[in-house]
Structure 1
Amino acid sequence: MAQSGLMQRMNNPEYKNWMRGGQCLLLLNSSLQGFIAAEMKTFHRQLACKIPARQGSRCQCRAKGKQFQPGCSVCAEWKRQILDHHTNRNGEIHWGNCNPSHWTTNYFEVAKAYMPRGHADKQGPHKCDIAALLNLINGCCHFRSSNLPNVREIIKCRNDLMHSYDMKMSSFWLADFRNKIQQFISEFIHVPGLKEQGALIQEVLSSDWAVEDLDQFEVDGAIRYQSYCLVSPVYGIEKQLIQELLQEIYLQIEEQGTLSEKDLDNVQKMKNFLSGHKDLQLTLRADIRRLEFLERNTFSSLELKGAMEQDEDVPMEPRKVVTMQE
C-alpha cells in the first residue's frame, strides 16, 4: 500500500516539484548546521566579553512571546547587545524562543532570539528547520552577508513551499527556485561542505524523478529514481516535509488561538490530501490527531465566542418586579 501510494503521488508533476524543492531545502539545511554552530559560538564569545559576569543569586528572568522585560542587569545588557546586532531592531523578536537566564552560558539561547516563533524547545542548529537558520543569517549582523537579498529570496521560496497546503508547485516556480538557490550557494560557497551539497541539490533539480515501477528502483529500503543518482529514503523525506507543513498550522493556531476562514480552508486542503492517501494516514497518525485536536478546540472557542456575541445582541426583557401582597 505504501509503494502504490507513493507511486501515485510521485507521478503527479506538481507534487514531484513540491518534493524536489523540499528535498533541496533539507540538503541546504544539513550543510548549514555546522557553519551556524561555529559562527554563533564565536558571536556568543564576543558578546560575553562585553557583558559583566553574573553575581549573586540565580537569575529568574523569563520571556513570553514577543515580550521580555529583564529583571536583572545582566539580562538587560544581553538584551541590549542582541538588539544592537539585529538587522531589524524595530521588527518582531520572539523572545519566548529564549531562556534569558542561560544567555551567559549557552550560545544557542542567544541564536534563538534571531529566529521565528516556535523554537523554544530547540537545543541546537541540527534540531532546526531551514527557515530558522536562514532567518538567523538574515537577522544577525554577525554574518554580514554581502547579499542578504539572496537569503531573503530562499526564505520566500521556503514559505511558498510550506504554505502550499495541497503540496503542489508549478514548473515555473521550480525553475525560479533553481536560479535562486544557485545564487545562494554561490554567495555562501565558503561554507564547509556546501559546494558538495550544492552538487547534490543540482542533481535533484535536474532529475525528472520518473517513477513508473517503484519495485525496480528499490534498494535496501531506499529508492533510486531514473536520472537521479542520489539514493534517498523518500518515505522519510516525504514525512519530514509534511510534518514541517503541519507544524506551520500548529504554530498559527497556538499563537493566535483562532483560525481565519483562509486558515480553515488550508486545514481542509491538508485533510483532503491526507484522506486520499491511506499510507500517509497510517504514517502520520499522531500528527493528524494533533491537527484535529487543535481544530476542534479552535471551533469550540469560536462557537463559544459566537454564542456570547449573539447573547449580547439579544435585547434583555425587563425584569418583573414581584411585590408581596398584603
Structure 2
Amino acid sequence: MAQTSLLLRLNCREYKNWMKAGYCLQILQSRLQGFIDSEMKTFHRHLTANISRAGGPQRQRCQCRAKGKQFHPNCPVCMKLKELILLHHNNRNGEIHWGNCDPSLWPTQYWEVAKVYLPRGHTNSKGPQQCDAAAILNLINSCDHFNVSNISKVREVIKCRNDLMHSSDMKVSSSWLSSFGQKLQELISELGHVPNLKKESDQIKKVLSSDWSVKDLSLHEVDGFGAEPDGGENVYIGNSSLDGLSLNELEIQLVNQLLEEIYLEKEENGALSEEDQDAVIKMKTFLTENKDLLSVFQEDLEKLEHLLN
C-alpha cells in the first residue's frame, strides 16, 4: 500500500529531514499568501494612482508584449508603469523576468504587476495562492514596498529553499535542518507585523523537533504527528496547520516542486549541465524504485528520459 511505502521511506533520517523542511516552508507560505495578496493590491493602487495623478494618457488596444528578460514598451502607459515598477525593484539593474507578465494588463490586474517581482516560470500564476514559498519570498525580497528592515533574513531562507530543491537525492543533514530552523525563526521575527505569522513559530519548532520515526507499520504511527490512515491510501498529519494535508500529498507536492526546478533549468539554459544531468538520473532512479510514486509521476519519468536524450 502507498502509506506503507511512504513510511518505509521515512526510515531514512535525511529523507525525513528533507520532507520536514519542505513542510515548514508550506506552513510559511500558507501564512504569507493572504498578506501578499493584500499588500500587492495596495501597491498596485499606489502605482495606478500615480498614473492618474500625472494625467496619464488613455490607451486603446495596447499591443505591448514582454519576452523573457526583455521588455521594450511601445505605449506611454506601459512606459510610465515600467518606470514606476523599476523604481520599486530592488534588482532593477539585474535579472528581471518581464516575460512572467502581460504588460497590457498592468493598469487593471494587480497580479500582473506582482509577477515582475517573481522568479522565472510564473507566467500562468493568477495570484499568491498559486505561489510556493520561494516565489513569495522572492517577491518580498525584490519589491521595496515591503520595506523589510533586514532583508538578509529573507534571502537566507530563499537560499535554504534553493538548497532543498536542488538536493537531487532529496536528503539533507540534521545539522542543515537545525540551521534552517534557526533562519526560519529569525525570518518570522523579522516579519512580526504579518498577521498570525508568529503563531506558526511553535508549530515549526514542533515539526523540526519531532523524530518522525515509524513505530509500527501495521498501525501507521509516526512519532510526533499521530499520523492515521484515512481508510484508503493516505496518512494524515495530526494537528496540521495545513488543514487536511496528508503525508502522501505533502511528499507528492515536494517531489513535484523538485521536478519543476529541473524543467525550469532546462528551459532557461537550453541544455543540461553535468549537475543537472546527475539530478535527472537520480530522480529517475528514485521514481523507478518507489512504485507508489511512479504511478503518480509516470509522465514525468518519460519527460526525464527525454531530457537525457
1:274 CA drift (Å): 1.4
Q: How far apart, in 2, do the equivalents of 1:150 and 1:283 lie?
A: 36
Equivalent residue for 2:116, pick from 113, 118, 123: 113
Q: Is the 8 A contact 1:243 1:287 kept in 2?
A: no
Please say if 1:81 is aligned against 2:84: yes
User: What is the percent sequence identity of the aligned residues?
Assistant: 56
Q: Is the 8 A contact 1:7 1:212 kept in 2?
A: no
Please say if 1:124 is aligned against 2:127: yes
Q: How far apart, in 2, do the equivalents of 1:253 and 1:39 lie?
A: 33
2:269 alignment partner AA: Q
1:198 CA drift (Å): 2.5
The residue that corresponds to 2:206 in the other structure is: 203
Worse overlay, 195-204 or 176-185: 195-204
Q: How far apart, in 1, do the equivalents of 2:31 and 2:280 lie?
A: 32
TM-score (norm 2): 0.91
1:237 alignment partner AA: L
Q: Give a deviation string over 1:119-164, Cα, whole Å, max 9, x none.
A: 0000000001111110100010100101101000000000010000
**Matched position secondary structure for 2:235:** strand
Q: Is the 8 A contact 1:63 1:95 kept in 2?
A: yes
The residue that corresponds to 1:13 in the other structure is: 13
Change (3 A) 1:223 1:189: farther
Q: How far apart, in 2, do the equivalents of 1:13 and 1:152 lie?
A: 27
Please say if 1:37 is aligned against 2:37: yes
1:30 alignment partner AA: S
2:158 alignment partner AA: I
Q: Give a deviation string over 1:219-276, Cα, whole Å, max 9, x none.
A: 4365367xx7547400000000000000001111122221122211111111111121
1:18 alignment partner AA: W
Please say if 1:285 is aligned against 2:288: no
Q: How far apart, in 2, do the equivalents of 1:214 and 1:197 lie?
A: 30
Q: Is the 8 A contact 2:17 2:173 kept in 1?
A: yes
Q: Give a deviation string over 1:22-75, Cα, whole Å, max 9, x none.
A: 000011011100000000110110111111455242111110100000011110
Q: Is the 8 A contact 2:236 2:246 kept in 1?
A: no
1:57 alignment partner AA: Q
Q: How many residues align?
A: 294
Q: How far apart, in 2, do the equivalents of 1:280 and 1:145 lie?
A: 40
**Matched position secondary structure for 1:212:** strand
Q: How far apart, in 2, do the equivalents of 1:131 and 1:272 lie?
A: 26
Q: Is the 8 A contact 2:96 2:116 kept in 1?
A: yes
Q: Is the 8 A contact 1:48 1:104 kept in 2?
A: yes
Q: Is the 8 A contact 1:135 1:155 kept in 2?
A: yes
The residue that corresponds to 2:26 in the other structure is: 26
The residue that corresponds to 1:319 in the other structure is: none
1:192 CA drift (Å): 1.4
Please say if 1:189 is aligned against 2:201: no
The residue that corresponds to 2:95 in the other structure is: 92
Q: How far apart, in 2, do the equivalents of 1:56 and 1:223 lie?
A: 54
Worse overlay, 21-30 or 265-274: 265-274
Q: Is the 8 A contact 2:192 2:198 kept in 1?
A: yes
The residue that corresponds to 1:303 in the other structure is: none
Q: How far apart, in 2, do the equivalents of 1:142 and 1:117 lie?
A: 20
The residue that corresponds to 2:2 in the other structure is: 2
Q: Is the 8 A contact 2:3 2:235 kept in 1?
A: no
The residue that corresponds to 1:165 in the other structure is: 168
TM-score (norm 1): 0.86
The residue that corresponds to 1:155 in the other structure is: 158
